[in-house]
Amino acid sequence: MVNVVANKAEKLFEAELKKHGLTVALWPTMMCLWEEEGVTQRDIAEKSKVENSTTTRTLDKLEKLGLVERRDDPNSRRSYRIYLTEQGKAIKETLIPIPVAVNQQVLSSLNEQEQKQIIALLQKMVAAI
Protein backbone atom coordinates (compact mmCIF):
# COMPACT_ATOMS: atom_id res chain seq x y z
CA MET A 1 0.00 0.00 0.00
CA VAL A 2 2.87 2.36 0.75
CA ASN A 3 4.09 1.73 -2.78
CA VAL A 4 0.74 2.77 -4.28
CA VAL A 5 0.80 6.07 -2.39
CA ALA A 6 4.48 6.65 -3.21
CA ASN A 7 3.88 6.04 -6.92
CA LYS A 8 0.97 8.49 -6.96
CA ALA A 9 3.02 11.12 -5.13
CA GLU A 10 5.95 10.63 -7.50
CA LYS A 11 3.72 11.05 -10.57
CA LEU A 12 2.26 14.26 -9.14
CA PHE A 13 5.73 15.55 -8.24
CA GLU A 14 7.15 14.61 -11.65
CA ALA A 15 4.32 16.40 -13.46
CA GLU A 16 4.94 19.60 -11.50
CA LEU A 17 8.73 19.46 -11.95
CA LYS A 18 8.31 18.85 -15.68
CA LYS A 19 6.64 22.28 -15.95
CA HIS A 20 10.05 23.69 -14.97
CA GLY A 21 12.12 21.37 -17.18
CA LEU A 22 13.20 19.10 -14.32
CA THR A 23 12.61 15.51 -13.25
CA VAL A 24 12.40 13.69 -9.93
CA ALA A 25 15.84 12.19 -10.68
CA LEU A 26 17.41 15.68 -10.66
CA TRP A 27 15.72 16.76 -7.42
CA PRO A 28 18.12 15.24 -4.84
CA THR A 29 21.12 16.96 -6.42
CA MET A 30 19.39 20.32 -6.45
CA MET A 31 18.39 19.84 -2.80
CA CYS A 32 22.02 19.04 -1.89
CA LEU A 33 23.27 22.17 -3.64
CA TRP A 34 20.62 24.41 -2.11
CA GLU A 35 21.89 23.18 1.26
CA GLU A 36 25.57 23.62 0.43
CA GLU A 37 27.42 24.74 -2.69
CA GLY A 38 31.02 24.09 -3.60
CA VAL A 39 30.80 20.40 -2.82
CA THR A 40 32.35 17.64 -4.89
CA GLN A 41 30.48 15.21 -7.07
CA ARG A 42 31.36 12.48 -4.57
CA ASP A 43 29.81 14.56 -1.74
CA ILE A 44 26.59 14.88 -3.73
CA ALA A 45 26.52 11.14 -4.48
CA GLU A 46 26.94 10.31 -0.79
CA LYS A 47 24.31 12.79 0.39
CA SER A 48 21.75 11.75 -2.21
CA LYS A 49 22.61 8.05 -1.84
CA VAL A 50 23.22 7.37 -5.54
CA GLU A 51 26.15 6.02 -7.52
CA ASN A 52 28.90 8.41 -8.60
CA SER A 53 28.23 7.60 -12.27
CA THR A 54 24.56 8.53 -11.84
CA THR A 55 25.61 11.82 -10.26
CA THR A 56 27.83 12.52 -13.27
CA ARG A 57 24.86 12.16 -15.65
CA THR A 58 22.65 14.24 -13.35
CA LEU A 59 25.21 17.04 -13.21
CA ASP A 60 25.58 16.93 -17.00
CA LYS A 61 21.82 17.44 -17.36
CA LEU A 62 21.70 20.22 -14.78
CA GLU A 63 24.65 21.94 -16.44
CA LYS A 64 22.87 21.79 -19.83
CA LEU A 65 19.82 23.33 -18.19
CA GLY A 66 22.01 26.17 -16.92
CA LEU A 67 21.34 25.39 -13.25
CA VAL A 68 24.82 24.30 -12.10
CA GLU A 69 28.42 24.77 -13.06
CA ARG A 70 31.57 22.81 -12.40
CA ARG A 71 34.64 24.67 -11.20
CA ASP A 72 38.14 23.32 -10.75
CA ASP A 73 38.84 21.99 -7.27
CA PRO A 74 41.85 23.86 -5.88
CA ASN A 75 42.71 20.81 -3.77
CA SER A 76 42.64 18.25 -6.57
CA ARG A 77 43.40 18.45 -10.27
CA ARG A 78 41.11 15.49 -10.92
CA SER A 79 37.87 16.77 -9.43
CA TYR A 80 35.50 19.69 -9.59
CA ARG A 81 33.46 21.69 -7.11
CA ILE A 82 29.80 22.09 -8.01
CA TYR A 83 28.04 25.45 -7.74
CA LEU A 84 24.57 26.70 -8.55
CA THR A 85 24.24 29.32 -11.26
CA GLU A 86 22.10 32.38 -10.63
CA GLN A 87 19.27 30.55 -12.40
CA GLY A 88 19.80 27.51 -10.14
CA LYS A 89 19.57 29.72 -7.07
CA ALA A 90 16.54 31.63 -8.34
CA ILE A 91 14.46 28.54 -9.16
CA LYS A 92 14.60 27.36 -5.53
CA GLU A 93 11.78 29.65 -4.42
CA THR A 94 9.54 28.26 -7.16
CA LEU A 95 10.40 24.60 -6.63
CA ILE A 96 10.54 24.19 -2.84
CA PRO A 97 6.75 24.55 -2.39
CA ILE A 98 6.05 21.75 -4.90
CA PRO A 99 6.73 18.72 -2.67
CA VAL A 100 4.84 20.40 0.17
CA ALA A 101 1.80 20.78 -2.10
CA VAL A 102 2.12 17.19 -3.33
CA ASN A 103 2.26 15.90 0.24
CA GLN A 104 -0.81 17.96 1.13
CA GLN A 105 -2.65 16.57 -1.87
CA VAL A 106 -1.76 12.97 -1.03
CA LEU A 107 -2.74 13.45 2.62
CA SER A 108 -5.96 15.34 1.85
CA SER A 109 -8.23 12.31 2.36
CA LEU A 110 -7.11 12.09 6.01
CA ASN A 111 -8.18 14.30 8.88
CA GLU A 112 -5.56 16.33 10.78
CA GLN A 113 -5.00 13.69 13.48
CA GLU A 114 -4.63 10.93 10.88
CA GLN A 115 -2.17 13.07 8.91
CA LYS A 116 0.00 13.58 12.00
CA GLN A 117 -0.15 9.88 12.78
CA ILE A 118 0.81 8.70 9.29
CA ILE A 119 3.65 11.22 9.10
CA ALA A 120 5.01 10.04 12.46
CA LEU A 121 4.77 6.41 11.41
CA LEU A 122 6.46 7.05 8.05
CA GLN A 123 9.24 8.99 9.76
CA LYS A 124 9.76 6.06 12.11
CA MET A 125 9.93 3.66 9.15
CA VAL A 126 12.40 5.86 7.27
CA ALA A 127 14.61 6.16 10.34
CA ALA A 128 14.75 2.37 10.58
CA ILE A 129 15.92 1.93 6.98
Q: How confident is the model at residue 93 (pLDDT cuts 50, 70, 90)?
A: very high
Stretch 67-95: mean pLDDT, rounded?
Answer: 93
Average pLDDT taken over every residue of the chain: 94
The whole-number pLDDT of residue 89 equals 97
- DSSP E strands, the chain: 39-40, 68-73, 76-84
C-alpha–C-alpha distance, residues 6 and 103, integer Å: 10
The whole-number pLDDT of residue 27 equals 95
Rg (the chain; Cα; Å): 17
The whole-number pLDDT of residue 11 equals 96
Note the pTM of the prediction, 2 decimals.
0.84
3-state SS assignment for residue 65: coil
